[in-house]
A = this chain, B = another copy of it.
Amino acid sequence: MKVTPWEVQIKTEEDYERLIKEFGVQKITEEIKNKIKELAGDLHFLIRRNFFYAHRDLDLALKDYEEGKGFFLYTGRAPSKAPMHIGHLIPFILTKWFQEKFNVNVYIMIPDEEKFLAKKVDSLEEVKKYVEQDILNIIAVGFDPDKTFIFIDTEYIKHLYKAAVYVARHINLSTAKAVFGFTNDTSIGLIFYPALQIVPTFFERKRPLIPCGIDQDPYFRLQRDIAPKLGYYKTAEILSKFVWGLEGPYSKMSASKPETAIILTGDPEKEARKVFRAVTGGRITLEEQRKYGGDPEKCSVFHWFKIFFEPDDKKLEERYWKCKNGELTCGECKRELYERIKKFLEEHQKRLRRAERLKDKFLYDGKLAQEMWNWEFKVYK
C-alpha cells in the first residue's frame, strides 16, 4: 500500500484503516456525524455512508461554527491532459453542501502547473484547454458566486508567492522527502509545489476545512506544523476514500483510460453506455444469479449508486438486498444506472453553459473574488 498525492495503491477496506493509523488522522465518529446533522439539519450521504470516512479537527471546525467564529472551505483540482470524470466531482459536491448548510466562503485552487511539474504532462499549453473546462465543471456543481473564489496558480501567483516563501522556508528537504516520497528524480518544481498548495489555508484567520481525498493529507499535515508559527489556524480536513472505476472494486477511474471513466463533457448517451461493460459483483450466468444472488460489495455499479446516484438510504438498501437475493439482475441494475448517468450528464452539461456566463464572477468580480484580488499575506507572529 502506497499513498502519496501522486501515487495511490489501495486494494482493500483494511488499507483505508491502515492509512488512518499511518497518517495519524481520525475516523469520523457517530458523535461528529450527529453534530453535523444537528448544525446542518441534515447529513450528506457521502459522510453518512463513510465515503468521507476520516478527518482532522472536523469537530473543532464545527465547534468554531457553533461558537460563531466560523470556518472556511478550501479544495482544488489540478488540470491534466484529460477531461474531468464524474469521480472528480465528489469533493466539490461535499464542499458545495457544506457551503450551503454553513453559509461559508469556499476557495478553489486550480494548480495549472502541478501536473507539468509532476511530469504527467509535457507543457503548460497541454493543460490549458482543461483549465478552462475544469473550472466550468466545478462551477456547474452550484457554488455561490459571491462566496466562492476560484483561482489559477499562474494567474494568481503574485498573491500566493509571498506566503509560499514563508511556508517553503519552514519545510526542509528531509521533511519533504519523508512526507511526499520525493526522490533524486523529482523536479525541484514539484519539491516546492507543496508550499503553494498550503497557502490558501491562510486566506482567512479562521479554521480552514478541506474536503479532499485522503491522498492529499500530507500537504495539510505539514500545514499543521507551520500554521502556528505564522499565526494561523491548523487546517481541519474531511478525507474521502477513492472512487472506483468501471473495472471493479478499487480499480481506478482514470480519464486517460476512457473505458474506466464517465467523462463529464462526453456525449451523455455514449458515456452512460460504458456502464454496460462495467465489472459487477454478479454471477456468470443469469441462472446462477437468480439462485445464489450477487455481491453488491464487489460491484462497480452498486458503488456508483452508493456514492453518487442513490441518495435515498432506503432505496439503496432495497437494491442491495434485491441483488443479494438474486431478484435483481446485473442487466437491470446497469440499465438503471445508465439512465441516471445519462440524465445527470445532460443536466450537468446544461449547467456548464450557465457556468460560462458565471465564470468571471468566480474568478474576478464576484464579492469574494474582488476581495481576494486585494488580499495580501501577513505574518501574525
Contact = CB atoms under 8 A, between A and B. Distances in A.
A80 to B, nearest CB: 15
B172 A186 contact: yes
A158 to B, nearest CB: 5
A182 B173 contact: yes
A172 B185 contact: yes
Nearest to A154: B162
Interface stretch (A12-20, A91-99, A189-197): A189-197
Nearest to A185: B172
A173 B185 CA distance: 6
Contacts of A165: 113, 116-117, 124, 154, 189
Most chain-B Cβ atoms within 10 A of its Cβ — which of A161, A171, A188? A188
B168 A161 contact: no
A172 B187 contact: yes
Contacts of A47: none
A116 B169 contact: yes
Interface in A94-131: 113, 116-117, 119, 123-125
A184 B168 contact: no
Contacts of A171: 187-189
A93 to B, nearest CB: 30
A172 B154 contact: no
A110 to B, nearest CB: 14
A285 interface: no
13 contacts: A116-B165, A161-B161, A165-B189, A170-B187, A173-B183, A173-B187, A173-B191, A174-B184, A176-B188, A177-B184, A188-B194, A189-B195, A191-B192
